Structure 1
Amino acid sequence: MMPHSRRLALALTAALLAWPGAHAGDTTPAAQAARWSAEAGRPGQADAGRAFFTQRHGGECSCASCHGSPPTAAGQHASTGKTIAPLAPAFNPKAFTDSAKVDKWFRRNCKDVLNRECTAAEKADVLAYLNALKP
């Protein structure tokens, strides 16, 4: 028979693993916008986010090149042809609900479009724009 403390630890571990916050879906688009706004020291600006999203930043593509403009329907990766789910949260309930994926997405795609990581203000602006898009 297992000691009481070990049974308790196993029960707590199982409860934590069953808790929705322990898996994908640990955040919301609004929480992500608040996170980057706090880091930037100012609220995200939807107009600046739209301009950033649609602008080419010295390279051959913009965010809109793959995600569409507005990003409310499925997009297509410019070089691989892979289908990309709508980016705007109102059109894709899974968008921006996994913190690890949000960080990975920004890191990878900012480097592709800008040849650098996005600033916190740029992320806040893009999220303000995406969160403002409604059906």
Structure 2
Amino acid sequence: MRLQTNQISLLILMIAALSSYPLKAEQAQDFLSQFSAQAKTDTASFTGFDAGRGEQFFKARHGGDWSCSSCHTDNPLMPGKHIVTEKEIQPMAPAANAERFTSGAKVDKWFKRNCKDVLSRECTAQEKGDVLSYLLSLGH
């Protein structure tokens, strides 16, 4: 099938327009907004996130052997290491690792996996927002 000159011109114009369109990078604040909306849906008494509560959650064991800090250290500005595989983990705090909380797919994947390891269940939106508020409070 041969394309006509006007079809080729239109195709080139469309490609140029799409390639110049900036992709929106997700930011940690975007996730806080999402978690807030979900928390309001889940709990009528939701009043906001708390970095202090997030720090306590991050460092506490929740009935099992692990806490978030078991792998991510008590200082999320520093690299951690998985306690089973010993694989190095980049810092959790966005101030020390600009790649953190920039991909919805990764945020969903890692909260789901890590919450199940630590809590034996998924985290609530309140818990996610508190932890993220804590991580955002570091290094500023």
- TM-score, reference length from structure 1: 0.85
Q: How many residues align?
A: 132
Residue of structure 2 equivalent to 1:113: 118
Identity %: 46
Matches within 5 A, 1:35-46: 35-41=34-40, 42-46=47-51
CA RMSD of aligned residues (A): 2.2
Q: Which has the larger radius of gyration?
A: 2
Residue of structure 1 equivalent to 2:43: none
Residue of structure 1 equivalent to 2:103: 98
Check 1:18–1:131 CA distance in 2 against 1; reply closer, same or farther (3 A cut). same
Does the 8 A contact of 1:34 with 1:43 survive in 2?
no
SS at structure 2 position matched to 1:21 = coil
Structure 1 position 31, deviation (Å): 1.3
Check 1:70–1:21 CA distance in 2 against 1; reply closer, same or farther (3 A cut). same
Unaligned runs of 5+ residues in structure 2 are 41-46
Check 1:9–1:107 CA distance in 2 against 1; reply closer, same or farther (3 A cut). farther
Structure 1 position 9, deviation (Å): 5.5
Check 1:12–1:56 CA distance in 2 against 1; reply closer, same or farther (3 A cut). farther
Unaligned runs of 5+ residues in structure 1 are none
Check 1:6–1:38 CA distance in 2 against 1; reply closer, same or farther (3 A cut). farther
Residue of structure 1 equivalent to 2:3: 2
Does the 8 A contact of 1:30 with 1:131 survive in 2?
no
Letter in 2 for 1:63: C
